[in-house]
Structure 1
Amino acid sequence: MLDNVEFANPQFFWLLSLLPLALLWYFFKRNEQVASVKLSTTKAFKESNFLARLKPLLFVLRLLALASIITALARPQTKDVSSRTKTTKGIDIVMAIDVSSSMLARDLKPNRLAALKEVASDFIKQRQSDRIGLVAYAGESYTKTPITSDKSIVLGALREITYGQLEDGTAIGMGLATSVNRLKESKAISKVIILLTDGVNNSGFIEPQTAADLAVEYGIKTYTIGLGTNGNALTPVAYRRDGSFQYGMRQVEIDEELLIDIAKATGGKYFRATDNEKLEEIYDEINKLEKTEIEEFKYTRFEEKFRPWVFLAGILLLMEWALKATLFKSFV
């Protein structure tokens, strides 16, 4: 009867403390409630001794009835809570991904590009209320997928990103400008670019600073990520005769000053990812920084459960009256 039940007025349970006092009062006063008669023998009353011993049952029924009434006063009720959410602030995000040959470096496992795709995939899955697009860039740039709320399309496009789809090089300005172009018509309240690179700007016909100015003009925040260990990394340095890469140790060069300037100018933040764990932490931090505002409406329905207790108290009092008027009539 009390499963998942809450009490609206639990203070009434203090009244239960009076029941033991009533029980003590009855124990000490029970002999004074019936007139006594002195007789030379009690043989004629032996048949009624059993009923006399059961007489306290009437008082027990009354106490149980009072306990039921007190429980009813405490207003037992069940609560059913339902909620409905409404997105009040949508975020449009474009992820600009460097796919130059240096992204095959093995300082991240198994390589930089594969590590990035794994972490970016987890990030996309967590942005359930936002639209996301992908831009790939190397010596040039292109839109892999425009901003969309269909995460399956974005995840599929992310899996398809590989090295070799573009002319080699690192056109940071082109990658940023293409991302701005995808977001400039967006009606979202918040527009964000996550630009990742592992090198310096050495290609393209749009300067990174010009692209950053465009981002500022359209109110687009840019988070920049420099990817690569500190020092040397095992990086593709030449092709073998069979077309595969020959790897060698090469100094990791990232234009951190440029990336810091872009982030600062657009109201974003610069991060440096030197290993898989750090890259994952960076995307987690961006995920926390760019929160979609959700308005939640809660509906609570209460169902009163005091009636069965009132009904039980009435039954107990009726039983007491019936026993008084019948079985225990001669003792009352």
Structure 2
Amino acid sequence: MFDNFTFENPQFFWLFLLLPLAITWYILSRKKQQASLKISTIKGFKTSGSWITKIKPILFALRLIALSLIITALARPRTVDVSTKTKTTRGIDIVMSIDVSASMLAKDLKPNRLEALKEVAAEFIKGRPNDRIGLVVYAGESFTKTPITSDKSIVLNSLKDVKYDDVLENGTAIGMGLATSVNRLKDSKAKSKVIILLTDGSNNAGFIDPKIASELAVEYGIKTYTIGIGTNGMALTPVAILPDGSFQYGRGKVEIDEKLLKEIAKATKGKYFRATDNKKLEQIYQEIDKLEKTDIEEFKFYNYQEKFRSLVLLAGFLVFIEFLLRYTLFRSFI
């Protein structure tokens, strides 16, 4: 209720410490303010209490309330209405290029590489409300899963649907995945264009050389962050498909062409990362999130409404009432 209520000069509230002193002084000096008559006995007088004398302290109460109102007015109470307007500069267009070959089902990340990636990538997408994001998936070939869009619900739903299947030719066409991503971004007018390319292998398929694709990225001013996903050494990897359609797993060597991924990142002024476990993968996306920030300007407009005037008027009115009562109703008693 009082969230938008402020006091410009709150130091004046220290004056309230004078009120207890004033009350003490009034109590101690009250008897001296009344005339007294000493007689031996009042048996011969008829006594009756007067209601006027009983309500006499109302004068002091009015003065005290008026003083409190003046102190509050000095503190300058006011309400503030804050309106905010945000202006986002041309944001960042990001394409996430994801390897969906069978090896992405390896279990060195939990529950597997692909599912671990989807979980981390979803948080990354949610944390970038002002950017446009698209998805490209590749194995032996590549295609656009989602064109760059500012509608994060579409991107997140598409990300949930990313999985290994036999629609794409098996293999790892890094050049194809990168080239398709470049194609999605080449006509973008964003201030920054970024590709996040993730793979767990080496280029062994497709008809576009990864170095040619990286040259295209350089030509269109597209920065590429490359991520090699997979543990060091051996990992539990799909090696065959059983008659029931499930995978048979076996120990396989993790072979990531880190040299190629580093060359792509260096040529495009990006950065190479290695994700050996779930925690490291999460940290990589957090670092990319920090490296690529959208500039947002926030303008705040303050509308102040001063409230001290009504307090001063009310205090003046109470002083007038006190003055009026003092010289009319209570005149003969003071």
Equivalent pairs, count: 332
Shift of 1:196: 0.2
The AA in structure 1 aligned to 2:173 is: A
Structure 1 match to 2:152 = 151
Q: Distance in 2 between matches of 1:168 and 1:142?
A: 14
CA distance in 2, matches of 1:317, 1:245: 91
Return closer, same or farther for 1:44/1:5 CA change in 2, 3 Å cut-off.
farther
CA distance, structure 2, for counterparts of residue 2 and residue 184 of structure 1: 52
Q: How does 1:270-289 map to 2 (within 5 A)?
A: 270-289=272-291
Report the counterpart of residue 169 of structure 1 in structure 2. 171
Q: Does 1:61 align with 2:62?
A: yes
2: CA distance, partners of 1:46 / 1:2:
53
1:28 positional shift = 5.8
Q: Could you give the per-residue CA deviations for residues 150-207 of structure 1, whole angstroms, max 9, x where no partner exists?
A: 2233233323333222111111122112211211111000111000000111222322
The residue that corresponds to 2:101 in the other structure is 100
2:233 is the counterpart of 1:252: no
Deviation at 1:104, TM superposition (A): 1.5
State the shift of 1:50 in Å: 6.6
Q: Does the aligned pair in 2 maintain the 1:89–1:294 contact within 8 Å?
A: no
The 1:45–1:331 alpha-carbon spacing in structure 2 relative to 1, beyond 3 Å, is farther
Shift of 1:115: 2.2
My pick for the range that moved more, 299-308 or 170-179, is 299-308
Matches within 5 A, 1:36-115: 47=48, 51-52=52-53, 54-115=55-116
CA distance in 2, matches of 1:304, 1:268: 54
Q: TM-score under structure 1 normalisation? A: 0.88
Q: 1:261 and 2:263 equivalent? A: yes
Name the residue aligned to 1:125: 126
| Partner in structure 2 of residue 327 of structure 1 | 329
Q: Which residue of 1 aligns with 2:189?
A: 187
How big is the alpha-carbon RMSD for the aligned residues of Structure 1 and Structure 2?
2.7
> In the alignment, residue 123 of structure 1 is paired with which amino acid?
F
Matched, 1:6 2:6: yes
Q: What is the SS of the residue equivalent to 1:258? A: helix
Return the match for 1:293 from 289, 292, 295: 295
Q: TM-score, normalised by structure 2?
A: 0.87
CA spacing shift, 1:158–1:54, aligned 2, 3 Å: closer
Whichever residue aligns with residue 139 of structure 2, its letter is A
Cα displacement (A) at 1:249 = 0.5
Deviates more, 1:16-25 or 1:95-104: 16-25
Distance in 2, matches of 1:161 and 1:2, equals 49
Is contact 1:107-1:234 (8 Å) kept?
A: yes
Letter in 2 for 1:110: P
Residue 198 of structure 1 corresponds to which residue in structure 2? Answer: 200
CA contact (8 A) 2:90 2:191 kept: yes
Counterpart secondary structure, 1:89: coil
> 1:155 & 1:30 partners in 2: Cα distance?
78
Q: Deviations over 1:8-36 (max 9, x none)?
A: 22233344344445445555655665667
Q: Which runs of 5+ in 1 are unaligned?
A: none
More off after superposition, 306-315 vs 144-153: 306-315
Q: 2:217 aligns with which of 192, 215, 230?
A: 215
Question: In the alignment, is the contact (CA less than 8 A) between 1:140 and 1:175 conserved in 2?
Answer: yes
Write the distance in 1 (CA, Å) between the matches of 2:173 and 2:318.
Answer: 87
SS at match of 2:89: strand
After TM superposition, the structure 1 stretch with the greater mean CA deviation from structure 2, 237-246 or 36-45, is: 36-45
1:175 aligned counterpart, secondary structure: helix
1:29-88 Cα offsets, whole Å, 9 max, x none, are 556656677767777695467755654432332122122112112221122222122211
Asked if the contact 1:195–1:225 (Cα under 8 Å) also holds between the matched residues in 2, the reply is yes
Per-residue deviation, 1:93: 0.3
Within 2, Cα distance between the matches of 1:261 and 1:45? 114
Deviation sequence 1:101-131 (CA, Å, 0-9, x none):
1112122223222222232223222222111
- Contact 1:77/1:302 (CA < 8 Å) preserved in 2? yes
Find the aligned partners of 2:241 and 2:69 in 1 and give their Cα distance.
Answer: 88
Which residue of 308, 311, 320 corresponds with 1:309?
311
Alpha-carbon distance in structure 2 between the residues aligned to 1:61 and 1:172 = 85
What secondary structure is seen at the aligned counterpart in 2 of 1:323? Answer: helix
